[in-house]
């Protein structure tokens, strides 16, 4: 269900873009792809780099204290500062996981 929602959202993105660009007091008519292509490229680059940064960090489960690296999809998870709502791969419970200190990786 969640995956189909994401795929539908991806195809609806071009429909949500405006074809009238306002820059200062002037407005310009531009083709839809002139707005969509840079937006999709920007979002993809941000997803790749920020997702890689999040996946490289070690998070700790609040329930079982297991430390794990989340996937790149953790970029879309709810977060407050660096704490993120993630599903623990060990106990399979969702909760606010904080970043574990270096050298505390669980087995
Ligand atoms: Zn856990």
* pLDDT tens digits along 37-50: 999 999 999 999 99
Q: Are strands 79-80 and 83-87 parallel, antiparallel or unpaired?
A: antiparallel
Q: Which two tokens stand for residue 15?
A: 């429909």
Q: Is the pLDDT of residue 59 over 70?
A: yes
- Mean pLDDT confidence for 44-68: 94
Report how far ligand 1's centroid is from the alpha carbon of 67 (Å): 8
Return the SS3 of 88.
Answer: coil
Report how far ligand 1's centroid is from the alpha carbon of 86 (Å): 10
* pLDDT tens digits along 68-101: 999 999 999 999 998 999 999 999 999 999 998 7
> Higher-confidence residue: 79 or 16?
79
Q: Do 39 and 30 meet the contact criterion of CB atoms below 8 Å apart?
A: no
Report how far ligand 1's centroid is from the alpha carbon of 26 (Å): 54
Report how far ligand 1's centroid is from the alpha carbon of 88 (Å): 5
- How high is the pLDDT of residue 64? 94
**pTM confidence score:** 0.65
Report how far ligand 1's centroid is from the alpha carbon of 22 (Å): 49
- How high is the pLDDT of residue 5? 79
Q: Rounded mean pLDDT of the chain?
A: 86
């Amino acid at each position: 269900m969640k995956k189909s929602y994401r795929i539908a959202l991806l195809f609806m993105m071009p429909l949500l873009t405006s074809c009238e660009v306002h820059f200062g007091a002037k407005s310009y008519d531009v083709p839809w792809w002139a707005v969509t292509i840079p937006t999709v490229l920007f979002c993809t680059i941000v997803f790749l780099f920020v997702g890689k940064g999040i996946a490289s960090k070690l998070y700790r489960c609040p329930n079982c204290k297991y430390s794990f690296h989340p996937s790149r999809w953790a970029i879309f998870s709810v977060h407050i500062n660096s704490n993120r709502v993630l599903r623990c791969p060990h106990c399979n419970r969702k909760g606010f996981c904080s970043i574990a200190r270096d050298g505390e990786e669980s087995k």
